[in-house]
Structure 1
């Protein structure tokens, strides 16, 4: 409607369309550095109009046109994000929102390989440039998790595990770090043992699934220890002992176990001997009679200072005194299986002084003409005596006399001297020779052809003449041999050339060898023929 100043009016009519403008809106999801910031276009428009185009300005001199933008900011700080929208009718609208891009935390931790069943050594070194880390999410790779800052954790199986840490800041920014850890197997300690008396032998029965067992630490329960794999140990007393074994693998994984062992020594040392009462200089056979065993070391000690390491020694004892000597015996046995025992006897052996037998006799050179001997007993430490004169005659007299037969012969004389107890004796033996003598009778006259009396000249030889080396000759006054014989049993009947000789004195000469030696003798004289 138009009206002039004069009051004139006119009217014209047209129809126009008013199109709606877009209502710009968008959402922001994520505001962490170098992570996607998701911008979601939420612009709307009324009626039948539609959004023809959009345009993003991200505030970092970068742009976008998609309804959903995933934008990554490379620097922290505040950014103005503007969204422009235009409808199909050319209507436009825009919206600016501010976003603060926060720094991400740096997830960092250290962890060391360890053993199964042992708590891991874990250090959380995570940090953030701005803000704080409010959450830690751990995944140990064995279906277990934790939200603690530095959690303790024990693996129940050996193997390799990826341990992951997610660090979350107060702005919900995250970072992830993953490390591999090796969980080493734990050795399993075990052992067996045998014992005999005080000796025990231990045998390692430990095992490990992989790797080696490097160290052994034994405690035998009696302050004794060892560090070898299969030790032996000698206990000093009966009793029950708790033995423990701790083993360490090559990586250092440790396990220990303990067992009880009963030690009982039922070994008894003992011996027998061949005699407990001997004479000085005699020997005794000692024989081990200990509880049955397979060998060992044997220690004998005697109070006279003698020792032996034989199992069954033969030991000789001396006594130079005049009274019996008592000997103490100590015997100790240590078997190869560790059994130990000893036994001591006081004055177990009596060593009697041994007498010394000795004698002399007179005359020193007895003969068949004087076979009477007197013996002088010079024995010492003796109380009784027995004499054997060698001719089936004996005596118990201290210093006897004895008459031998009047024949040349050697006799073995033995004196046995006994001590006061008659347990010890000594003998002295010597050979006595009754010497032969040259004994003969030669008549100085005879009467041939006068009957049966004195009618033959024949010397009588009693002893000392060797009849096999004999010669007798008779001579007349002219030096003629009137008779000769080599048989002492044949005499001269007074005949010469089958006629009786005249009364006269005749010379006789006798040659012979004595029976005591090869010495030759010559005798001569006169014999008178009487009618």
Structure 2
């Protein structure tokens, strides 16, 4: 920055950033570069304050410090210095005197900033020395305040103020950076300089260069770590040069390995992370993909994958130094074996033993475990015999463990059926078959049977496969006829039974109605003749007219000689009763009649 000149006066810097009662445009003119513009018609008593354009503080040098500049008329200002601690010096009165030059000025109205160009006026100045005022230790002059006091035209026409003291107090600039940094962050290089009048020349790693005072480098990498140099040239007065260096350190990114043990589908697997030596991990953010859960912030999350396969997972890590990085890997998950088996046949009769055959893919099998009906028995081979099973329906479970230790279980409900042995039986109707009617209904009474084979001796038909059979035995011919029934169950087991059907003759009954027990050789006894009944059930009785039993017998071949207790009964009419049971049905037959005893 070149020193500014007002007539014969050369200044170090000017007053700028002025505040006061005028418009912003007018205030900017009061602190311009060349003191050729100004303001007019500003009311007396107006106060203006500003700082030096250099941004620096100045010491109390020998001689005059301040040059006040106005136009045209005689003016006086009240001026005081503004110090670096915010305090002020005592005030001194500045009386303006004209300089030898006469220039053209562009004048601005204080309130409206209206331009009045090309006005020719003398420039008036006042030199001020604040030698009577003692600064505090370490304080410098950073600006000034002036108040418009008098003007022989009634209003003031100020231009500005120039500082003409010696070399300013320059604080050496400092250099800094915002490191240590993590990769990907933004590097900030800064030079703290008390003056705005300086130039900068940066150089650094990876071919870096810049002429800015402060520099940012986004997406910082390890290639950009190292020492940066900035040459600062202070252009104020004596062109001081400062060579500054700063070293930028990059913190290491998270590194290491995701750890885990191989596992099977639907089994929990615990993940971990083993950091590089010297690193400490402060936070974890796991992306577990299709696992359950899908995310976790735990250091050692437990995750389950529903199916076998290769699953990518990753973890975003933050180190204790604040650096973040992503580590990924692929986790192999083994599939559980899918057991399958067969048995032939699936239905047997009790007691039953089934041969069970494993049909699981041999590559998926290391060990086996068979279970019948929820724990009856278990075995450990590929092909095995079931335990001896009573009748019932049985679930079968096969559990297979693969070479990788994965377990698969298949249960087939109601897979094996054990039925009781069939029991053949039948009966016929009518229960007593008479020779006069030999049509017979053969009625099945078997248990656990599903098929039937009938063989009927001399029957029509003589064989059948229906459950019940209607047949005819030889008509009119009494005798015994064998019938055989062979049955089988759903499991293919057999049983048979043979029974004999007796065809009975017609009941024949002959009872004489008189006899003559008179001692001759003819017709001396009374005897009945009967056939077709159960002779062992026969009951024959003879009664007199008063109902007294004269004779009783249970033998169809017995004879009555007409006596009672050894005495001959009187001649007359006697009543007899006869009862007997059917040979087959125990049906009771009863007969009543009379017999005449004639002497």
| Shorter-chain TM-score tier | 0.3 to 0.5
TM-score, scaled relative to structure 2? 0.41
Choose between structure 1 and 2 for higher RCO, CA contacts under 8 A separated by at least 6 residues. 2
